[in-house]
Amino acid sequence: MQPYPVKKYINVYLCLGSNLGDRAANLRTASALISKQLGKPAKQSHVYETEPWGNKEQDAFLNQVIMINTVLDPRGLLEGIAKIEKEMGRTKTEKWGPRLIDIDVLFYGKRIVRDKGLEIPHPELHKRAFVLVPLMEIAPELEHPVLKQQIDALYMACDDLSEVVMI
């Protein structure tokens, strides 16, 4: 009798954001769909209200970082995220524009991925307080595999002074 193959779970950090409609409900819905379709949540930060990034002429965002355990490869994860965003009604519009839901892959284990339409770790995460603050809450000692610095050190070096308020 052959043993069942053991699937290896990878810790993946995702940033969720919304600034349209019922923002808190959007985050809850996205989290529930992620749990059903991509992987079981293992950790989650509080929800934070944050200033918009890039285009300042829009409503404030609610952001949250979650860590899930998944068996999906990076491409499968990205496809699953796109499916969830579409299912929730997101349409791609302007860069840094208003969003019903936005789900970004921050880290996929310790892997570095540079592929068409997919960069992991997220190439801008170390520049954004709205990512670093909730990430620091759940994983302050996580080391960025490219920058070789822990999240708390990246936050201390971050030039982004925008407000990130726990709600």
Catalytic residue numbers, as ranges: 90, 99, 102, 104
The answer to whether residues 31 and 17 touch, using CB atoms and an 8 Å cutoff, is no
H/E element, 110? none
d(CA 69, CA 131): 19
The answer to whether residues 12 and 107 touch, using CB atoms and an 8 Å cutoff, is yes
d(CA 161, CA 88): 31
| DSSP-assigned beta bridge partners for residue 63 | 17, 48
The answer to whether residues 12 and 109 touch, using CB atoms and an 8 Å cutoff, is yes
Neighbours of 147 (CB within 10 A): 13
